[in-house]
Amino acid sequence: MERKLLEQLSQLTPIEHRQQQTHQFIEDLDAAAIDQQAQLRTLTDYFFNSQDIYISRHNRYADYPEHTHTFLEINYVLKGTAHEVVDQQSVTLHTGDLILLDSGSTHSIQALGDHDLLINILFRTKNISLELLNDLRHSDNILYDFLVSHITGDQSHPQNYLVFNQHPNHQVQTTLNRIIEEYYQHHEFANSIIKAYLSALIVQLIREYPLNRVSQANKPQQLAMQLLTDITTNYRTINLTQLAHKYNYNRNYLSNLFKTEVGKTFSTVVTQQRLIQAHLLLASTSLPISQIMRRVGLTNKTFFYQKYQAYYHTTPQKDR
């Protein structure tokens, strides 16, 4: 990592100045980032209002209270040591180590010291390429199972977190450092580059950490993953009738299976995939919005604007 950025990340924040004096946790989040109705401190998708991946440097000198979240999270020790309690299990991370936390896992972080730097990387299911997971489906690796279980909503998966210790070839750490640099240096197209690095990171973790597979996806889960892959490939024109014919299943059975395994209706996921593609075209082209709608398979302008606003919490014009 560039020395200048490392020095920047090491500087005390205003909250750290206060926590250093009292060693008491001071809230650093907007009220909208916390679910006020939940019994346990729950962090929400607020972090993704204007970006696909959110990164922050953890404040030092005070214990961070037990909490959960509605997204996936990576805690990466850039420097020093971090002690966490995850689902009532003690976890100690050293320089170069990382932990991947599933949504719904509970964890707290003990106070970091002067020379500790912990980076939080937050992302959601839609930032994980389904085509990428399909390419990796033959990998005998628990990380693959972990990600597939998250996407398909499999609540029976035995682990809500995975720990990766520093690997001798440092490729994973190099990719993580590139993600952090892109985020904090605010270069043009940083969001797209960070998403590409995230995909590379997943592949590297699967390749460099041959963790044993603890379970095999069942047949309904495998079918749901294949349907998700079909959606990413043919989102513009896909429909359940076509898929029922392709896989020789009753249409209603396929619809119910999809809802059970994924936790969302087929039409909802198709619409979300179309919105994701529209979002990419808005950011990377100068095409008129009406033409972008047609390219992704949407024809109703009111429907498009309403769904886009609900999904991205902004308007197509602002994203452009």
Per-residue pLDDT band at 210 (split at 50, 70, 90) = low
The pLDDT score that the predictor gives to residue 49 is 77
Give the tens place of pLDDT for each residue, 85-100. 999 999 999 999 999 8
* Residue predicted with more confidence, 214 or 311: 311
The pTM assigned to this predicted structure is 0.66
pLDDT band at 259 (very low <50, low <70, confident <90, very high): confident
Is the pLDDT at 141 greater than 60? The verdict is: no
Query: Does 52 or 207 have the greater pLDDT score?
Result: 52
Contact 232, 131 (CB under 8 A): yes
pLDDT at 214 over 60: no
Instruction: Write out the two tokens for 218.
Output: 């069942």
Q: What is the pLDDT of residue 313?
A: 77
pLDDT single digits (tens) 124-135: 866 565 555 555
**Tens of pLDDT, residues 226-238:** 888 788 778 899 9
Can you give the pLDDT at residue 90?
A: 94
- The pLDDT score that the predictor gives to residue 12 is 96
Is residue 156 over pLDDT 60? Answer: no
Which of 11-15, 121-125, 158-162 is most confident? 11-15
pLDDT at residue 144 above 90? Answer: no
Most confident of 117-131, 142-156, 210-224, 264-278: 264-278
The more confidently predicted of residues 313 and 194 is: 194
Flag whether pLDDT at 215 surpasses 50.
Answer: no
Which tokens sit at 15?
Answer: 């909250």
Mean pLDDT (the chain) is 85
pLDDT top residue among 80 and 277: 80
3-class secondary structure per residue, the chain: CCHHHHHHHHCCCHHHHHHHHHCCCCCCCCHHHECCCCCCCEECHHHHCCCCCEEEECCCCCCEEEEEECCEEEEEEEECEEEEEECCEEEEEECCCEEEECCCCCEEECCCCCCCEEEEEEECHHHCCHHHHHHCCCCCCHHHHHHHHHHHCCCCCCCCEEEECCCCCCHHHHHHHHHHHHHHHCCCCHHHHHHHHHHHHHHHHHHHCCCCCCCCCCHHHHHHHHHHHHHHHHCCCCCHHHHHHHHCCCHHHHHHHHHHHHCCCHHHHHHHHHHHHHHHHHHHCCCCHHHHHHHHCCCCHHHHHHHHHHHHCCCHHHHC
**Mean pLDDT calculated for residue range 45-73:** 91
> Would you place residue 204 in the very low, low, confident or very high pLDDT band (cuts 50, 70, 90)?
confident
Q: What percent of the chain is modeled with pLDDT above 90? A: 46
